[in-house]
Amino acid sequence: MYRIAATLLLLPLPVIAAQLECRVIGISDGDTINCLTADRVPERIRLRGIDAPESKQPFGAQSKQHLSGLVYRRTVIVDSASRDRWGRIIGTVWVEPADCVNCGPTLDAGRAQLASGMAWWFRRYAKQQPLEERLSYEFEEKEALTRRIGLWRDPQPIPPWDWRRGKR
């Protein structure tokens, strides 16, 4: 009996997904927001599944501005499962669309960033996304690329992960 209990304690625990409601008080860049919970606890949220241009990179300011237009000073719901090494919550950020009052938080801000050509789908972390989200993010990125909108207007856009490594 004790052996079974001890064995169960050694098994890895599943990641438990959580939902957080907070009000966005700041935008760090095109994939990171700052918000306050109902208990006035500040949280940094990194949008799961996307990587936006760095601030000094082409389209960095536009990406930040676009995300700001979607979520700044608005209440969002964050579906999360983890924190990164900097303590940021990694999650999908849901907000009520500006053109649909009383619809509730039905707009995925990360997907909207991709659809506008303001971010890359972060394939490196695709396995951390639910399948449906992964497929929709891939689709939105391809559509933006096909339509040559946002950062896809650049003839040779440099992904932020290459930019950060100095491949400019």
- Cα distances from 133 to residues 34, 69, 76, 117, 121, in angstroms, run 23, 22, 18, 17, 11
Catalytically active residues, by annotation: 46, 54, 88
- Cα distances from 12 to residues 7, 9, 16, 59, 78, in angstroms, run 10, 8, 12, 41, 25
Structure tokens at 23: 């009000």
Query: CA angle 161-93-86, nearest 5°?
Result: 50
β-sheet bridge partners, residue 112: none
